[in-house]
Structure 1
C-alpha cells in the first residue's frame, strides 16, 4: 500500500465519522460537499473532514481507496457509507443520525 493510501486508511480508522469533501464545512467548494456537510451538521455530532482540494494525491487516492468515483465520500466506523445522494437519503430517513451517533458513541467507549 503506498503512502497516500496508508494516510487515508489512518484517517478513516482514526475518526468515527469523516467526510472527504471539496472545501470545508464552513466554506464548501461544491454543492454536493455543502449538502453532505450540512446533513452531518444536522445530526449534531462532531465529524472530521478532509479538504481534498488541498492535495491532489488525496483527491485521487480517496477515489481508489473506497472504489467510489465521486467526492464527497463519507466514512463511518471505518466503512464507506457513500456520496452525497446516499448521505441525503439517509439523513431524510433518520438513518444517518442513528449511524453517526452510534459510531461516535462506540469510539468514545473503546
Structure 2
C-alpha cells in the first residue's frame, strides 16, 4: 500500500466518528454484507461516512492491510476497528453495538 493510500485511510478513520469501508454506497450497497451493516447503522440512526472501496483498487486492498482483516465491509468507531458484517450483526443483536456507540459518544436513536 502506498503512503498516500495509508494516509488517506488513516485520516478517514481518525477524522470521522463512524466510518464504514464498504462495497457500494450507503444509498446503494453493492453486496449483501455491506447492505446488512448499512441497515444496522441506519436503524440505530447513527451518522456515518460510507467509503466505496469499489471506486479505488488501492483503497480496497489497502483497508485490508490497514487492519490485517481480509474482508469488506469494515466498521470503525472513533478510530477503532469494530469488525466486519458478522461481528457488527452479532454485536447489534446482543445490544453491544448500541452500548459501544453510546460509550464512544456517538448518538444512537432511543428506539434502537
Give me the TM-score of the superposition, normalised by structure 1.
Answer: 0.90
Q: CA deviation at 1:105?
A: 4.1
Name the Cα RMSD after superposition: 1.5
Mind listing any 5+ residue stretches in structure 1 that lack a counterpart?
A: none
Q: Which residue of 2 aligns with 1:81?
A: 82
Mind listing any 5+ residue stretches in structure 2 that lack a counterpart?
A: 108-112
2:102 aligned counterpart, secondary structure: helix
Q: CA deviation at 1:96?
A: 0.9
| More helix by percentage | 1
Q: CA deviation at 1:101?
A: 3.4
Q: Which residue of 1 aligns with 2:16?
A: 15
Deviations 1:57-94 (A, max 9, x none): 10000000011000000011111111000000011111
1:99 and 2:100 aligned = yes
Q: Which residue of 1 aligns with 2:53?
A: 52
1:3 and 2:4 aligned = yes
2:50 aligned counterpart, secondary structure: strand
Work out the CA distance in 2 between the residues paired with 1:105 and 1:63: 25
Give me the TM-score of the superposition, normalised by structure 2.
Answer: 0.88
